[in-house]
Amino acid sequence: MFNNDFIEVQNDQIDFQDSGFLNVLANVTRTGVFTYTRMSPDGTIETIRQLRLPEDVESSMETLVGIPVTNNHPEELVSTENASEYLIGMSSDRPKMIKLDTDPTHDYIQQKITIFDEEAIEEIKAGTKRELSLGYTLDLEEASGEWEGRAYDCIQRNIRYNHLSLVKKGRAGELCKLQLDGKEVNLDGVSSDNVLTNINVGEDMLNIDGVEFTEEKVKSLLSEVNSTKEELAKVTANLDSATAKLDVFEEKAKADENAKAVANDAVEFKAAVKERVALEKSASKVLGEVALDEMSDREIKEKVIASVSEVALDGKSDAYVDARFDMVLESNVDAANDSAAIGKGTMAAKNTDKEDVVAKAKAAAWERMQKGEL
């Protein structure tokens, strides 16, 4: 988990070096119960009370030595890879644990901060930025209870400081300040698992990275978010409806395509049967009563040609075979006019008329079509 704690810089804590660098002395953290705020996924602000025990605060001091100071919180942890981009100053090497007369209950860590970036120094002098915000990682131990009269929801463990950021004076009232005028010290901050956004809550005001939002403004923004969610739900519903209609159209189009394909298959089958019947009838006039239903169209034509010629047809094209077949048929028609010359062929023609040639041809054509031979 990543936390940010805020400390207000008072005028009596500011000291300038001869070089113009600015030294800031601040009590950067303390023991006790800290109240953090965070925004839940539904947009509501919730608080979490975290206990920082003396032993955990003391063991964290070594990680305060020489940490980088940044102008506003970066959107990532500061490291050697990005320090040159964010660095505007450094913390000292002498953090120390002290007691305050005004608050003997808690232990405080006091440390000097040096800022050497001109723009940041001018912002501090002008009063536009007067808060220091510690950024650190920690482990939360889920354990609720009460410590020195204050309830807590969990305990901070393994506190490791990463950087100290100069941020805008972000909240009204006395929350999240370090005051040296005898009033109670109250250090609040931000709890965040994934982002380093500064979210501060006063009595009637929300501040995000220095931008103030009144309660009404927050409610208005949440109302706009809810309205946007409703509009998105309507758009999603309309999209689902349009998708359903498109699915129906696609299914109908597919059904029409299937019906068309079936019709085309029927037409092609009918034409193939007609051609097959004509072929078998023509062949029967030459060959007589011969079983042709197991033969392909070319085999029938080759058999007809072979009945009158010894020409070799292996390797010949279909066009060649068709032409030779037509010539045989034409010769057979001429010979059919002379009954004496027809001989066995006449008897074959008569016998063929007695057979159901059409039925056989249909059956043979259907079987070849199923086998993909037509």
pLDDT of residue 372: 61
Q: Where are the domains of the chain?
A: 2-209, 253-370
Distances (CA, A) of 268 to 25, 55, 258, 290: 97, 93, 15, 27
Fill in the amino acid letter for 45. I
Report whether pLDDT(254) > 50: yes
Count how many Cα atoms sit within 13 Å of the Cα of residue 273 in the half-sphere of its side chain. 16
- CB atoms near residue 339 (< 10 Å): 9
What is the mean predicted confidence (pLDDT) over 114-126? 89
Nearest to 66 by CA among 197, 161, 183: 161
Residue 310, pLDDT > 60, answer yes
Rounded CA separation 100/185 (Å): 10
Tokens of 120: 């940041």
The per-residue pLDDT for 350 is: 43
Give pLDDT, residue 283: 87
Q: How confident is the model at residue 274 (pLDDT cuts 50, 70, 90)?
A: confident
Indicate if the pLDDT at residue 191 is higher than 50: no
Distance CA 190, CA 205 (A): 15
Candidate from 6-10, 171-175, 198-202 with smallest mean pLDDT: 171-175
| Model confidence band, residue 91 (pLDDT cutoffs 50, 70, 90) | very high
Bridge pairing between strands 189-192 and 2-8 = antiparallel
47, 35 Cβ separation under 8 angstroms: yes
Instruction: Judge whether residue 276 has pLDDT over 80.
Output: yes
Give the separation between CA 189 and CA 161, rounded to whole angstroms: 14
pLDDT of residue 209: 45
| Mean pLDDT, the chain, integer | 76
